[in-house]
Chains A and B, each alone.
Chain A
Amino acid sequence: EAGVVQSPRYKIIEKKQPVAFWCNPISGHNTLYWYLQNLGQGPELLIRYENEEAVDDSQLPKDRFSAERLKGVDSTLKIQPAELGDSAVYLCASSSTSGFYNEQFFGPGTRLTVL
């Protein structure tokens, strides 16, 4: 079974430029998460999708960040314009939605460097 796929793995951009990250979750997983991981910190949730609906985006900085999961499968996270402080690893995770709690499976992440 293929794991969570993310691309690109690395991205270097100049500040004020736009950038987009793509995630393909594990087949059959209805729940998709985007996390931000700063250096030396644990992952922090940005947004959670149940199928195509964003059910928790309270931590997403909506002035510059946006996300979509149009068909309830893969997802794109966008930053426009990027700032120096956005340099971090962006992780995507997915889980099934049966039961009270579901283990989250993470992709390898996209490391963003903003110059």
Chain B
Amino acid sequence: DQQVKQNSPSLSVQEGRISILNCDYTNSMFDYFLWYKKYPAEGPTFLISISSIKDKNEDGRFTVFLNKSAKHLSLHIVPSQPGDSAVYFCAASVRGAQKLVFGQGTRLTINP
């Protein structure tokens, strides 16, 4: 039972354009969502998060949108840069549970 799903294994975007990564979840108890970024041979690093009381959170070039009715969140990166090429994981948690459930990841490639 995959509670957090990233249905696109890979995404290729031209440098300077917008990258949109999508994530769906099934557990309505989830109330905190995070995006992690992972380079090869490194552990995942925290990128941005959003609480279920919000529908948008922005940090520089990165914006996360949450649609609770659709159980869907997305990460927007604009403008995309070559250093953004990595695997991006969506994760979800129930506040206070101290447990993250991860999606399968999406490999983003930014082309010059």
Contacts and interface: CB of A to CB of B under 8 A. Distances in A.
Q: Do A and B bind each other?
A: yes
Interface of A: 4, 9, 31, 40-45, 48, 56, 91, 93, 95, 97, 100-109
A44 B103 CA distance: 9
B89 A102 contact: no
B105 A31 contact: no
Interface stretch (B11-19, B56-64, B77-85, B91-99): B91-99
Contact of A91 (B32, B43, B104): B43
A108 B45 CA distance: 10
B95 A107 contact: no
Interface of B: 4, 6, 9, 32, 34, 36, 41-46, 49, 89, 91, 93, 95-96, 98-100, 102-105
A105 B102 CA distance: 14
A69 to B, nearest CB: 15
Given A41-B105, A43-B102, A95-B98, 8 more contacts: A9-B41, A42-B4, A42-B105, A101-B98, A102-B98, A103-B34, A106-B43, A109-B43
A43 B49 CA distance: 17
A44 B43 contact: no
A100 B99 contact: no
Given A4-B43, A108-B41, A108-B43, A101 B104 contact: no
Contacts of B9: 40
Nearest to A104: B100
Contact of A42 (B43, B45, B96, B103): B103
Contacts of A31: 98
Given A42-B91, A45-B99, A105 B105 contact: no
Given A40-B9, A42-B91, A100-B96, A108 B42 contact: yes
10 contacts: A31-B98, A41-B104, A42-B103, A91-B44, A95-B98, A97-B98, A100-B96, A101-B95, A102-B98, A104-B100
